[in-house]
Structures are given as C-alpha cells and as structure tokens.
C-alpha cells in the first residue's frame, strides 16, 4: 500500500505541474543533490522542487555512472555522478537528499555533513538509536541542518488533528491505535525492505505508526513495551514481516499513562483470502475521555484523508484540511503534497528562517530508541547498520 500511495503521489504531482505554473528560480536558490536513484525521489523531492522557486536540483548520484546519467536525463537534472562521494565533493551542491537504504543512512549522512552539506534524510533516520545520535552530533559539530524526512508531519491536516487533541476539548487522551499495512505480494522479496543487511523490516519501513503515535502524544519517550510480537519473513527470520506492539507512554496530554498499540505489516493477508485490503490506508485512532478522533490516511493526506470525531453518544462529525491550518495559515496551496510542505520548511531552516514546523533531533533519536526497544522485545534485536555488518563502502 505504501508503494501505491507513492505512485499516486507521482501522478497527482505530475498533474499539478501541468496545471500550475512553475515559479522562476531565485538567483540564490538552494542547490540540492540526490544520493541514489530510488523510486521515491520524484515524489519526495524532484517534483516538489519544480514548484519551489528557492530550490534547484543540481545533481544525482549512483554507484553506476550510466544509471545516474540516465536518471538525470529523465528528470532534467543537469549533473550526474558515478559515486556518492563524487557528488559530495561538488562545491556547488549545498544540500543533499539521502534516500539510500536504511542501513546506509548514518554513514552517508555523516559523510555529507562533514562535506559541508545540509541533509534531508529519509526515515528512519538510521538503523538504530546509536547511529541516530552519531548523525545529529555530526550535524551539531559541523553546524549543518539535518532533519528526518517525516513528511506527513508537515501537512496542515496533521496540525489540525494535533490542535484538536491538545485543546482538551474532549478531555485527556486515554489510548491510541495506529496501523499501516501493505497487501500480501505487493513487495517482491527482492525489495530492500526485506533485506536484513540494509536494516529492513516492517517496523523500520512503516515507522510511521510509531511516529504518528508519538507526534499526537507530543513526542514522549517510550516508558515501556508491554507486549511485542513479530511474524518473521519466510525468507529471513531476522526480518519482521509484521510487528504488533502494545506500548505505554507518559504524556502531557494525560494525568495517567497512555496505552498505545501499533501494527505494521508488509504482507497483510487478503480479506476472504482473495480481496487485497486496499482500503487499509495508514490511520490512527486517538481515544479521549469524551470522544475518539480518527485520522484516516495520515501518511499521505494530500491524496485523500478525513478526520472523524465520534463522541460517546455515537455522533460523528468529519473534517478535511488540505491547506491553511493552525501552523501554515495562508501559506501553502491545497495541491501541495506532504513532501512539498516539508521542502518549504527545509529551505526555510537552511536559509536561516524559522520553519513553520520541524522534526527536532531529540525527537528523531527518541523515535529510534523506541524502535530499538520494540525490536528487542520481539526477540529480533535492534537493526544494525551496513558498516557494522559488512564494513563501509558505496552501494
């Protein structure tokens, strides 16, 4: 389902680029490079940058020059590099987007930061919390911006839900439940998400379930893993095909500990054995004393979403928010994707302006700490980076 959402984003952004005039690029536009030729790049950066006057994509790197050149030609990127190091050595590039496999995030984020580049780093920020600390300590030391690309957190709909929960209108939060699934067979076993050496696994790829839980509880540390189980991949028992966990958090939104369940599944069984569960878009339910707030498709709300508020009498009201909201105000457009909002904030931060919203380093480290704790509770153990497993080197 995650891949289907990304493909839908490609289509909507392509249509948007055809119906909206792209702005003239500023003379001091941020020059960005891309490490990898991953499928996510067009949706996550290339197309959003087309509609941002303050960003230009200067180059793309692959371990194979011909692949980089072909990719650059396809997306009208002026420069191609046959190694990641070559791109980082280009003084014209000021910032990089890293969409390499999870296990390579730490190594190449550190190299990029030490090369003087700002970094937009795909989630999860690293293979484990130890690596996450290394990444952000390097950013601090090098005085560069580095942010985990939890794009959904930059969308107005997320801010509206947060405002509703935090207002106290419906009382204290009592429990939450988040899920994200992909229909069985959607991800071929050759996909990097199934690769242990690249820090694959359901909870790593679908870390959104934990991200949304922590975000709406105001980013608390995980108090305790009450229960956690994983279904191992049939190809590699070290990789979780699915993970279910019950967690306990202390939050400013409640005077008592909050119980949260998360469910991530990369091979969700079909309904009635034949019907793929295409309707199971990433969603979170937040139960308060007086009502339950349900946010459907929190991961890609720009495609479609709804916010349902059901009171104790069973009455339900619905909301949708594609722009405006309590943080962006009149800034932004209804056709902007989560990635486009994220890019707006990233450019502001890099250029010394206060972003409308942000993912702080401490938050990202605590996110990885929680992932580690869940994996340890399942018995699989926390993920390892590629350097720890096989030594350094380019993909």
Active site positions, annotated: 123
Question: CA separation (Å) from 303 to 8, 141, 321?
Answer: 7, 38, 11
Q: Which two tokens stand for residue 64?
A: 């194979």
Rounded to whole angstroms, the Cα distance separating 322 from 304 reads: 9
What is the pairing mode between strands 291-296 and 306-311? antiparallel
What is the spatial distance between Cα 154 and Cα 148, in angstroms, rounded to a whole number? 12
Measured CA to CA, the distance from residue 211 to residue 219 in angstroms comes to: 8
Cα separation, 181 vs 232, whole angstroms: 15
Please give the Cα distance from 212 to 363 (Å, whole number). 12
- Token couple for 278: 């295409």
Cis preceding-peptide flag for 124 (omega within 30 of 0): yes
Which residue intervals of 37-150 are DSSP H helices? 41, 47-50, 65-74, 84-88, 105-114, 129-142
Q: Which of 346, 328, 334 is nearest to 305 (CA)?
A: 334
Task: Find the largest Cα–Cα distance for the chain.
Answer: 62
**17, 50 in Cβ contact below 8 A?**
yes
Distance CA 162, CA 149 (A): 19
Pairing of strands 306-311, 240-249: unpaired
Which residues is 231 bridged to in the sheet? 242
How far is it, in rounded angstroms, from Cα 245 to Cα 243? 7
DSSP conformational letter for 325: H
Triad 331, 337, 342: Cα angle to 5°? 65
């Amino acid at each position: 389902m995650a891949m289907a959402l990304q493909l839908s984003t490609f289509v909507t952004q392509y249509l948007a680029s055809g119906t909206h005039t792209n702005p003239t690029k500023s003379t001091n536009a941020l020059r960005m490079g891309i490490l990898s030729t991953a499928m996510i790049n067009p949706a996550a950066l290339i197309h959003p940058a087309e509609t941002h006057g303050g960003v230009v994509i200067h180059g793309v790197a692959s371990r194979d020059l011909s692949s980089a050149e072909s990719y650059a030609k396809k997306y009208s990127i002026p420069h191609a590099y046959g190694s990641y190091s070559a791109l980082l050595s280009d003084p014209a590039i000021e910032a990089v987007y890293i969409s390499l496999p999870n296990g390579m995030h730490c190594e190449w984020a550190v190299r990029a930061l030490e090369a003087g580049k700002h970094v937009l780093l795909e989630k999860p920020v690293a293979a484990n919390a130890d690596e996450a600390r290394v990444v952000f300590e390097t950013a601090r030391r090098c005085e560069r911006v580095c942010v985990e690309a939890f794009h959904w957190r930059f969308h107005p709909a997320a801010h509206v839900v947060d405002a509703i929960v935090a207002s106290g209108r419906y009382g204290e939060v009592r429990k939450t439940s988040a899920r994200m699934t992909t229909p069985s067979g959607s991800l071929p076993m050759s996909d990097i998400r199934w690769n242990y050496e690249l820090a694959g696994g359901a909870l790593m790829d679908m870390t959104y379930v934990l991200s949304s839980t922590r975000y709406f509880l105001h980013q608390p540390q995980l108090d305790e893993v009450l229960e956690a189980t994983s279904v191992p991949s049939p190809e590699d028992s070290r990789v979780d095909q699915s993970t279910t966990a019950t967690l306990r958090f202390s939050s400013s939104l409640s005077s008592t500990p909050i119980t949260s369940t998360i469910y991530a599944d990369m091979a969700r069984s079909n309904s009635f054995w034949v019907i793929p569960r295409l309707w199971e878009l990433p969603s979170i339910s937040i139960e308060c004393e007086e009502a339950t707030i349900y946010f459907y498709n929190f991961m890609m709300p720009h495609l479609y979403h709804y916010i349902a508020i059901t009171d104790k009498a069973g009455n339900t009201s619905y909301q949708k928010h594609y722009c405006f909201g309590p943080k962006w105000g009149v800034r932004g457009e209804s056709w902007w994707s989560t990635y486009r909002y994220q890019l707006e904030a990233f450019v502001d931060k890099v250029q010394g302006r206060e972003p409308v919203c942000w993912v702080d380093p401490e938050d990202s480290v605590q996110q990885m700490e929680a992932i580690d704790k869940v994996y340890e509770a399942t018995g699989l153990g926390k993920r390892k980076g590629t350097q720890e497993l096989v030594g350094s080197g380019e993909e």
